[in-house]
Structure 1
Amino acid sequence: MKEKITGRDAAKGITKVSKQRPPVLGEVEKLLLLLIEQKQRAGDSVTKAIICEKVKALHADLLNQQPGTSADAEGFKASRRWFERFKTRSGIHSMVRHGEAASSNVAAAEEFATEFLEVMVSEHYLPQQVFNCDETGLFWKRMPKRTFITEEETSLPGHKPMKDRLSLLFCANASGDLKIKPLLVYHSENPRASKKHKANKEQLSVLWQSNRKAWVTRSLFVKWVNVVFGPAVKQYLVDNNLPLKAILLMDNAPAHPPGLEKDLLEDFNFIKVMFLLPNTTSKLQPMDQQVISNF
């Protein structure tokens, strides 16, 4: 490996070397680029987080092998600034493995936003009283979609993703100070790990439900509203001395049926349900504005 690093062609990969940078860092980046190439050939994903963790480990290892490098003893931070400069020096770039563009109706989104604001103003809703919920599928064994590849490559080999998935429903208010316990739907009611460790689902930070396809259905959604959402919102409004009224904003997915108010328990008839217009969720859905992706 040492011979590969020292003999690497500087015209490819690390192309710019600063005299102000510690020599050990240049060696680390050469080794890092070789590792990225290895993962690229293997079809593995290489994210920014992976690169930053790997470079810190490599830096520490090389320092241990070179006891005279006291100037680097404080440790290497792998900051955002370093990462951006490393991309420039090495020529690595980010690619999405696969993706699908979503259509959106911009005019309808703008019209709905105006109408929704009018409802909030005319009926005196505060951000604390406005809630949004949305589902997402979590392929919890799947590799990341995006990976960094070397400058010479323009494509990368495909890979067969793991398909073990579950569904999650997230919900929070517009002020961000109340995050409702999520709904989790898995294809197994009692997974092997749950049985082995005798897990108590009542103590989980999610409402665990199950069906064969791990989908959020109407019955499961209504149960979540009456068992989790309604009680949490009511207690929150009482604790904060807020009027007993709230808006639940969501898209018109099959699990979110029209007339949902009829399925609410009597204690929660203060909840007003509003639906986003079709093809506007990519523009308007709050949970799609990096909340789910950050999770």
Structure 2
Amino acid sequence: MKIKESSLFIQSSSLVDFKASNGYLGRFANRKSIVFGTVHGESDPSNIFNGDEMGLFWRLHPNKTYKAKEKLVRFGKANKERFTVFVAARMIGEKLPLAIIGKSDKPRNFNSIERLNISYFFYSNAWMTSEVFLKVLNDINKIMVSQKRFIFFFVDNCSSHPDNLKLSNVTVLFLASKYH
């Protein structure tokens, strides 16, 4: 892009008729890290969150390992014992309390769960359900109401995420599925 020669009047110096060449303006922009670019609309990354659940098979042995050449390694039957963790975080780092879904109503190793910053739910197969998802979103909404914040919350489009949600401070947006 060619910059036209411009005439600048500088009061603080003795220059009355200063003419900047294209080279002068280019070097000045380079020195001051000035670039030409598109102006985008407003955005507030402090109010954009993403949430997703994952299954954690905590007793499953790895299916690959280092072994002696030509030797067969066996661990026995694969243990499918799992729990589901729902993780939600802000675009620039703030993390919301974890939600864990297990099989047991009162797991023995969670007897001090109040000290942890998590919510625990139980379901027979430890999967996310619509009821649990609604409880988690209501908890997030309560946090945002107490902080007087209005947020966008992105989640994937799956059957356990109902789409008729009416929350005061959380707007749930569904990510497009690649299968639809």
Normalising by the smaller structure, the TM-score range is 0.5 to 0.7
Contact 2:141–2:169 (8 Å) recurs in 1 = no
Counterpart of 2:106 (choices 181, 185, 190) is 190
Counterpart of 1:174 (choices 91, 110, 115) is 91
Alignment of 1:44-123 (within 5 A): 122=41
Q: Which has the higher helix share?
A: 1
Instruction: Specify the alignment match of 1:97 in structure 2.
Output: none
Paired amino acid for 1:173: R
- CA drift at 1:142: 1.5
The separation in 1 between residues aligned to 2:45 and 2:71, in whole angstroms, is 46
The separation in 1 between residues aligned to 2:71 and 2:146, in whole angstroms, is 54
Instruction: Specify the alignment match of 2:81 in structure 1.
Output: 164
- After TM superposition, the score normalised by the length of structure 2 is 0.67
Paired amino acid for 2:48: V
Paired amino acid for 2:52: D
Instruction: Specify the alignment match of 1:273 in structure 2.
Output: 172
- CA drift at 1:191: 2.1
Instruction: Specify the alignment match of 2:6 in structure 1.
Output: none
Contact 1:125–1:246 (8 Å) recurs in 2 = no
Q: Deviations over 1:16-35 (max 9, x none)?
A: xxxxxxxxxxxxxxxxxxxx
Paired amino acid for 2:135: K
Q: Which has the higher strand share?
A: 2
- After TM superposition, the score normalised by the length of structure 1 is 0.43
- CA drift at 1:207: 0.2
The separation in 2 between residues aligned to 1:157 and 1:201, in whole angstroms, is 36
Gaps of 5+ in 2: 1-39
- CA drift at 1:222: 0.8
Paired amino acid for 2:174: F
Instruction: Specify the alignment match of 1:255 in structure 2.
Output: 160
Contact 1:131–1:174 (8 Å) recurs in 2 = yes
Matched, 1:149 2:54: no
Instruction: Specify the alignment match of 1:125 in structure 2.
Output: 43
Matched, 1:139 2:44: no
The separation in 2 between residues aligned to 1:273 and 1:190, in whole angstroms, is 31
Matched, 1:216 2:128: yes
Count the aligned residue pairs: 140
Secondary structure in 1 aligned to 2:83? strand
The separation in 2 between residues aligned to 1:175 and 1:234, in whole angstroms, is 20
Gaps of 5+ in 1: 1-120, 239-243, 281-295
Counting aligned pairs with the same residue, the percent is: 28
Instruction: Specify the alignment match of 1:232 in structure 2.
Output: 143
Paired amino acid for 1:180: L
The separation in 2 between residues aligned to 1:172 and 1:224, in whole angstroms, is 13
Choose 1 or 2 for highest CA Rg.
2
Instruction: Specify the alignment match of 2:4 in structure 1.
Output: none
- CA drift at 1:231: 3.0
Secondary structure in 1 aligned to 2:65? strand
Aligned Cα root-mean-square deviation (Å): 2.5
Secondary structure in 1 aligned to 2:46? helix
- CA drift at 1:235: 4.6
The separation in 1 between residues aligned to 2:157 and 2:71, in whole angstroms, is 39
- CA drift at 1:137: 0.7
The separation in 1 between residues aligned to 2:144 and 2:64, in whole angstroms, is 37
